[in-house]
Chain A
Amino acid sequence: MLEINNGDRTYGFLYRHINYIYLKRMTITVVTITGNTININFESPTVLRAQINNIVIKLWRQLATIPGVIGGIGVIFWINCCNVYSHQVNSENISVNYNLGNALTISCINSHEATNHNNHLENRYIAANLENYISGKTKSYVNSSYTLNQIQTAINNSNSGDVVIFEAGTYTNKYFDLKDGVDIILSDAVFEMTTALGRAVIMDGSVGENIVNCKIFGSAVFNFGASTGASGGSVTWLYPNGNPNYNTSWLIIDQLYNSNIYLEFKSAECSKTAISSFIHQWDDGELRVDGLSLYSLNTRSFDAEASGSPTEGMLFDNGILFHIMEDGGSQYVPFNAATDEYYFRNNYFETIGNDMSHVSQLFIQNDTVPNINFVNARFKKNNANGAVIEIASDTFEEFSAIRMWQSEFDVDEGSVMFGGFIPGQNIELYGTIYSNTASEMNETGTGEYIEDAGFGLSRPTITDALYLMQPSDITVEDNAEDRTVTIDEAANSSYYEVYRDDTRISGSEYTEIHDIKIYDVDYKYRAVSITGFKTIFTKLFNIQIMPLSNMPAKSKYTIGDEVYYSNLGVITPLEINAVFVEVSNPNNDASGVQTNTYGFVDQSFVLDESKLFASKNSLLKNIKGEYFNSDLTGDPVLLLIADSGFDGQFLDYGGLYLTNNDLNLASASFGDAIFDDTDLTDCTLPDDVDTKAEFKAAVKSYDKVTTIWTDGNAIG
């Protein structure tokens, strides 16, 4: 459940019920699949920031982030793509249709922005609905034991529209080139790069000009060791220099041509200093990236540059949540480049330390007219110098636009922005921009810039995001025969893994688990997607049954009763002087089990109730196995008593089949009579004992089961 606390109360939402969330000034609004719109107002920007972090971190795997305008006010939308059915762009509007609930229309700044944001949404929508996307496609699988040649062959042998799936595992010093139209799913692959190979893990052009349009999905992790930064490389690749000593061994991806690539991964970490960047974009092309974190000493997150003369058409869309550089470092946006479009979505940039060679977090040195959007960006800069965003003045031209949507600056020293602004250059603000220092921005837009806001940023806890499927609550059905647990289907799941006491007991597609043991057994389960993504485990649960009720029932015999048992074939009378009744529930059902046991005068043994009989005749009937008045086949025969009635001295009617008799005895005689194992079907009884209650009260003994009442049923 997603919990949003505004400082006064906590609002809870099932993840799968959320269609979208949007932020407008100091209000977070959640819109659910049922059409409910819940507005959560905040007083404190610090509390608001913490809740925004919580939303984005938990749900980043399924969110698309799109800025828009409502009533002239800048708004940030977070779309839950797991619930999206379709989306399309129409002029400056993006329409989002959901599986359940009302459609959403986002009004963007202009049609150009709407198109770019819709492209972002498309990638996030696919990532959240990967099974549907790859359904019907030809798939190839590679694993960590494959050689480099085998991995590349799998890609090269695929055709446009096919998918290559990297199975989970550790790929040590493995890399590959992309192919146009061939998508990649990295699953939970871990790329351990320990040597200076000389090239990036992923490239579009190591073999020469290779314009690629493709998408890469998954939760891959990239670890670049200390030796990756060593000079020289062992792999020869052709572009740009054809220089085998050209070393880009620390790059996740190197996009060299006019490719259009989407990359989704989880995290990357580099333990080597003085190297370039995690992501490199060269020349024209579009690169869109989403991920959780980049961590290094002073590695840039990205480095975009052009080959020479500026051209148009370059785009970089950065949805990586955390950019942490422990020893300074900066991002180049761009470097001597021709990039037109930059989008920063939900990024937290943090630079620490005093590396004087890297004074700014974003260094913009541009030769064309870029368009930059910061959407929910936070900048924490502990360097003593420079600015958060520095604009180089030597090659600067007028920006098309710089827009900030609800962003924050926490700067120890220096300023938010400086550089060679063209007079009149505006920074458009949407929402509220907080800063603890001054800026030289010339602000416009509908937002507000609050300086010296006393607003400090702290690095949020970087945790694994909620995966695309949320295990739902479970229900337990107690049908008294087969205790069944039913698991509600989790969206995007392929099957379920069920664990009992940390041991997996099932891993298939069914959503029912039978024969659940109870009490001290812990169960948990998780859903698994077709690509191997696993959800977090459910909370532990165990099955509790309802307690029994109204137990024990009355025992048949009590203290002082005279009973009979068969002692090696001899009918032996006993007098009861102790009663032991135990109730348990070994079958975990609604009725339980009751055992009645008795002790006897002058006897040291105890006997179960089943071995005791109220009269000799009923004991004999039990030994015989049929009524006394039965024919040779065992069927009972009529025994009609003479019209003069029963002899009042005959009291042991046990074992007799008396159906259709007129038992017109004086009722006083009933008080000493025993009717265990007696069939009274269609008998006529005296008026004062012709009901069950009267009969039971009057007789000396009856049996709930073996005394058959006048209606032909056990007397009960």
Chain B
Amino acid sequence: MKYTGTLTVTTHQVGATVYIIENDVPVADTVSKTKNYVDVDDNEIITYQLTNHGAKWFPAIEIFASKSAIKTYFDNLADGL
């Protein structure tokens, strides 16, 4: 049709270095795939596959752009307590 549907440019692009928490330790990896899923109600869910983590799809909330981003996230969580 007209290429106007709900579809967001992902925060982390394929090839980017990102960080996850694995066994309580920040681990760096590279994005190998991204997936956008839009449901019937136009809700969008974004997930990521990482080079060294096989076929697992990580939800966006578990992916961090940098070590400082991890710190910021957990600081905010703590502040919200």
Contacts and interface: CB of A to CB of B under 8 A. Distances in A.
Interface of A: 519-520, 544-559, 561, 577-585, 592, 614, 696, 699-702, 704
A559 B51 contact: no
Contacts of A551: 9-10, 13-14, 34
A253 B52 CA distance: 57
Interface in B16-69: 16, 30-40, 42, 51-52
Contact of A580 (B16, B30, B37): B37
A559 B40 contact: yes
B52 to A, nearest CB: 7
Contact of A548 (B1, B7, B13, B52): B13
Given A548-B15, A549-B13, A559-B42, A554 B34 contact: no
B76 interface: no
A559 B38 contact: yes
Contacts of A584: 14, 32-33
B interface secondary structure, majority: loop
Given A547-B15, A547-B31, A584-B14, A556 B1 contact: yes
A583 B33 contact: yes
Contact of A696 (B2, B5, B7, B31): B2
Interface of B: 1-7, 9-10, 13-16, 30-40, 42, 51-52
A556 B32 contact: no
A552 B11 CA distance: 10
Contact of A577 (B10, B30, B32, B40): B40
Contact of B3 (A547, A549, A555): A555
A544 B15 CA distance: 8
Given A552-B7, A592-B14, 18 more contacts: A544-B15, A544-B30, A546-B15, A547-B15, A548-B13, A550-B9, A551-B9, A552-B34, A553-B7, A554-B4, A554-B5, A555-B7, A561-B1, A579-B36, A579-B38, A580-B36, A581-B37, A701-B1
B7 A579 contact: yes
B63 to A, nearest CB: 13
A553 B9 CA distance: 7
19 contacts: A548-B15, A549-B13, A551-B9, A551-B14, A552-B7, A555-B5, A556-B1, A556-B3, A557-B5, A558-B1, A561-B1, A578-B37, A579-B5, A579-B36, A579-B37, A579-B38, A581-B7, A592-B14, A696-B2
A582 B33 contact: yes
Contacts, number: 100
Contacts of A545: 15
A550 to B, nearest CB: 5
B30 A519 contact: yes
Given A547-B31, A552-B36, A580-B37, A704 B3 contact: yes
Nearest to A549: B13
A654 to B, nearest CB: 12
B33 A700 contact: no
Contact of A701 (B2, B10, B35): B2
B11 to A, nearest CB: 11
Contact of A547 (B1, B4, B7, B13): B13
B25 to A, nearest CB: 20
A86 to B, nearest CB: 50
- Which of A520, A557, A581, A592 has the largest number of chain B CB atoms within 10 A? A581
A578 B40 contact: yes
Contacts of A700: 1-2
A695 to B, nearest CB: 11
* For the complex of A and B, 6 pairs with smallest distance between CB atoms: A558-B5, A547-B15, A554-B3, A547-B16, A579-B38, A577-B40
Contacts of A699: 2
A548 B36 contact: no
- Which of B4, B15, B34, B52 has the largest number of chain A CB atoms within 10 A? B15
A558 B8 CA distance: 13
Contacts of A580: 35-37
A559 B42 CA distance: 7
Contacts of A547: 13-16, 31
A520 B14 contact: no
A582 B13 contact: no
B32 to A, nearest CB: 7
- Which of B5, B9, B33 has the largest number of chain A CB atoms within 10 A? B5
Given A579-B37, A699-B2, A552 B15 contact: no
A582 B35 contact: yes
A585 B30 CA distance: 12
B36 A581 contact: yes
Contacts of A561: 1, 5
Contacts of B51: 519-520
Contacts of A558: 1, 4-7, 38
A553 B1 CA distance: 14
Contacts of A578: 37-40
Contacts of B2: 696, 699-702
B45 to A, nearest CB: 10
